[in-house]
Amino acid sequence: MRIVICGVRGSTPASGRSFLRYGGHTSCVAVAHDGEQDPTLILDAGTGLTNATELFGGRSFRGSLLLGHLHWDHTHGMPFFPSGAQADSRVTVLLPEQGEEAEAVLARAFSPPHFPVLPHVLGPGWSFAGLDPGEHSIEGFTVLAREIPHKGGRTYGYRVSDGTSSLAYLSDHSPVAMGPGPEGLGEYHEAAMELADGVDVLIHDAQHTAGEFPDQAYLGHASVEYVVGLAEASGAGSVLLFHHAPGRTDDELDAIVTGQAGAPVSVQAAAEGDVLDLRAVAAGRAPAAAVRQSALRSAG
């Protein structure tokens, strides 16, 4: 698998000189099969989805958008995705099953007076469906969906595999909802452990630090230190810190990564444009997020 990081922020986008290196768009990760140019699976559709268009070089997107949950920072890129609006595009939007028709749920945010158009107007090839927990075949990938705790609606974490390499994606995760855990930062609960078990890279909500956590836990996110502990407990090969706090500057993210230099697993902070070749990561030839080749600015 080849992974391109398209959006890294949580809650709201960030802009300004202090955010140029890591980027300011909200959650979006594009996944392509080995040997294929275009991604066919995109995890979350935050404003980073506007970045994903650059990967297609003018070609239409034909694949699935897999949403972890329905908060604005994970959905509001959908109307601004030109590769999904072309006449020959196919965009299958999959979201955690809500017990009602999927487009109707999305229309609560995408309809007048909140937004000019309904979801089905986004393009002729768009469709919408709910996804139950369990294992699924999506765009040729094996995807395990497990419900994980997060405030404000049903939330899934995902494990994606192509039979050779694997990633876990827990973009929003509030592990303290399951109990304080061994360090007071949340439980290493069954769903999180199953998703992260032995993956090559764990992409995980790291919106807070342990020092911030007592005052910020009510927001429903995880701490950097929890993510590293989960990776160690589950046998994940490396960590990519994700869903950065919107005010977290480039220098602050650098300091967080430096502070984890002695961690039992490789720890990096996700940056827009990062390209991860999971074959290389799995073979131990490259740490996660070692390649910062500005893929989004050079694609096409």
Q: What angle do CA 270, 203, 214 make, to 5 degrees?
A: 90
Q: CB–CB of 3/278 below 8 Å?
A: yes
Superfamily of domain 2-298 in CATH is Ribonuclease Z/Hydroxyacylglutathione hydrolase-like (3.60.15.10)
- Domain ranges within the chain, ordered by starting residue: 2-298
> Which of the four pLDDT bands, split at 50, 70 and 90, describes residue 283?
low
Peptide bond into 113 cis (omega under 30): yes
Give the model's pLDDT for residue 214: 77
Helix, strand, coil percentages, rounded to 5, for the chain: 25, 25, 50
Q: Look-up: residue for tokens 């927990």?
A: 133
Going 163 to 166 to 172 to 176, the CA torsion angle's sign is positive
Q: pLDDT tens across 150-163, in order?
A: 888 899 999 999 99
Sequence-ordered list of residues with C-beta below 8 angstroms from that of 89, at least 6 positions apart, any chain? 60, 61, 62, 83, 123, 124, 125, 126
Phi and psi dihedrals of 269, rounded to 5?
-105, 130
| Dist CA 98 CA 131 (whole Å) | 9
Average pLDDT over residues 70-94: 94
Q: Is the pLDDT of residue 298 over 50?
A: no
Distance, CA of 276 to CA of 136 (rounded, Å): 23
22: which residues sit within 8 A by CB, 6+ positions away? 8, 244, 250, 253, 269, 270, 271, 272
Percent of the chain, pLDDT > 90?
79
The alpha carbon of residue 11 and the mean position of all alpha carbons in its chain are separated, in whole angstroms, by 13
Query: What is the overall mean pLDDT for the chain?
Result: 91
